[in-house]
Structure 1
Amino acid sequence: MITLHHCPQTRSMRTLWLLHEMELDFQIRMHAFDKSLRAPDYLVLSPAGRVPALEIDGERMFETGAITQYLCERYSPERLGRPMGAPDRMAWLVWVHFAETVSQHSAALTQQHVALREDHMRSPIVMKLEAARIAKCYDAIEARLSTPVENRDYLLTSGFSAADISVGQAVYMARHFVRLDDHPSLAEWYDRITERASFVKSLPETGGIYEREFYPPWPVE
C-alpha cells in the first residue's frame, strides 16, 4: 500500500497529482499546515517536518523530486517518466527539478503573506524580490514553451510527462503571487494541463493555505 502524507496547497499536491495520473491505489493521510508536522512520530517520516512524505513497501520517502523520479521509474517510465537513453531524459530531469526552484520563491512569499499574520512582521523588500524571482522563473518556462519546434504543447517535445506535473503544480502555487498575464505561452500551457482530471482531483475540497486568489507584493491589503 502507498500512503501519501499531505497538506492541501503544498508541495505534496505535486505527488498527489502524479499518483492520480498514474491511477495507482493509495491512501491519503491529511495533516494540518502547522506545528503538528514537527511531532516526533511525523519526523520519523520526514526529518525536516514537511510534506510530502510517502510510505511505500515498508519504506518511507521525502522530497518531491526524489518521489517523482522513483514513482515514474517504477510505475510509468515511458509515459510520465523518461528512461535512461530516451532523447528527452535530460530535459525531463531538468524540468522535474526546476519545479523546486519555483516553489522556493512561493514558499518565501507564503511565509510573508500567510504565516506572518501582522504587517509589522512582513518585509516589503522580500515580497518584491521574491515576486520578481518568480517572474524570472516564468520567463524561463515561457522561453521553453515558445520555442518554435513541432508539438510544443508540453515542456518536452515527446509529450506530457511528470515534468509538466511538477512545474505545473509549482506554477499553481506561484499564481497566488504573480499572475501569468505577461507570459502567454505559459498561460496556455497551464490552462491545458490543469484541465486534466488528475489535476482536478488533487485540488483541495475545502480549506487550504491561501485565503484569497491573489496576494499583491505590497501592500498586503
Structure 2
Amino acid sequence: MTTSEPVFHTNPMSRGRIVRWMLEELGVEYRTVVQEYGRSMKSPEYLAINPMGKVPALQHRGAVVTEAAAICTYLADAFPQAGLAPAVDDPLRGPYLRWMFFAAGPVEAAVSANALGLLPPPEKAAFVGYGSFEQTIDALEVAATSASPWLLGERFSAADVYVGSQVDFGLMFGSIPERPAFAAWAERLRGREAYKRAKAMDDALMPAKG
C-alpha cells in the first residue's frame, strides 16, 4: 500500500491511544482501522502488516511502522510542518531522543516488571537496562521536573506525547507513583485540545457496558 494519508491500526484499549493523540497534534488527515483482540489482530491480513499481531501500527507511503515510540518519532519527522521534532542540527534533538527512548526502554520495562512482580533482586540489577524500578522512576521525575511547561522548555514535542503518555497512564492505573512533578505535567498534557479530541474519539470506540 502506498498512500500519502496515514492508515492507523488501533484498538481503544491499547497503546494506540498514544498514537491517536500524536496524529491529532499533527492535524493531518488519517484513516483509522480498528483491530479486534484475538480476531482481526491475528488474521493473516493483519499479521502481514505486523507479525506480532498487536497494535498500534501505521502504514504510510509504502512503509509500515510499529511500536508507539517509533510511530511518534516517525510521524514527527514525516510531518515537519507541525514542529513536533527538533531538526537533526538542533541542539534540542539530543534531549528529545534521550527522553523518547528512555521511556520506550527503561521506563516501559521497569514499570511492566514491577506490575508483574518480576523485578530482579538487587544483586542482579546490573543485568537489566533499567537497573531498579526506583532508579528509573527517579530519572523519569527528572524529566517531569524539567518539563516547564514541556520537556524541551517552551516547545511542545512528540516527546511530551510519548513520555507524557507513560506518566499519564501510569498515574491513572497506579503503575507510576504519585509525585508532584508527574501530576503537574500530566495536568498540563490533559489540557491540550488534541489530547481531549483523541481521548473523546477513542472513548467513543470503547465497547458498550452492559
Q: TM-score range by the shorter chain?
A: 0.7 to 0.9
Equivalent residue in structure 2 for 1:52, among 45, 52, 56: 56
Equivalent residue in structure 2 for 1:178, among 168, 172, 175: 175
After superposition, residues 1-221 of structure 1 pair within 5 angstroms as 1-34=5-38, 36-76=40-80, 79-101=83-105, 102-107=107-112, 125-126=117-118, 136-147=135-146, 152-175=148-171, 176-178=173-175, 180-181=177-178, 183-203=179-199, 204-206=202-204
User: What is the RMSD computed on CA atoms of the aligned residues?
Assistant: 3.0
Distance in 2 of aligned mates of 1:40 and 1:58: 19
Deviation for aligned residue 1:185: 1.3
Deviation for aligned residue 1:16: 1.0
Distance in 2 of aligned mates of 1:37 and 1:107: 22
Go from structure 1 to structure 2 and tell me whether the alpha carbon gap of 1:13 and 1:77 turns closer, same or farther (over 3 Å shift): same
Contact residue 111 and residue 176 of structure 2 kept, 8 A:
no
What residue is the counterpart of 1:120 in the other structure?
none
Distance in 2 of aligned mates of 1:208 and 1:27: 18
Q: Which ranges in structure 2 are unaligned for 5 or more consecutive residues? A: 122-131
Contact residue 22 and residue 161 of structure 2 kept, 8 A:
yes
Distance in 2 of aligned mates of 1:105 and 1:31: 28
Secondary structure, counterpart of 2:118 in structure 1? helix
Distance in 1 of aligned mates of 2:170 and 2:120: 13
Aligned-pair identity in percent equals: 26
Q: Which ranges in structure 1 are unaligned for 5 or more consecutive residues? A: 113-124, 212-221
Contact residue 105 and residue 134 of structure 1 kept, 8 A:
yes
TM-score, normalised relative to structure 1: 0.73
Letter of the 2:152 partner, please give it.
L
Deviation for aligned residue 1:11: 2.0
Go from structure 1 to structure 2 and tell me whether the alpha carbon gap of 1:127 and 1:200 turns closer, same or farther (over 3 Å shift): farther
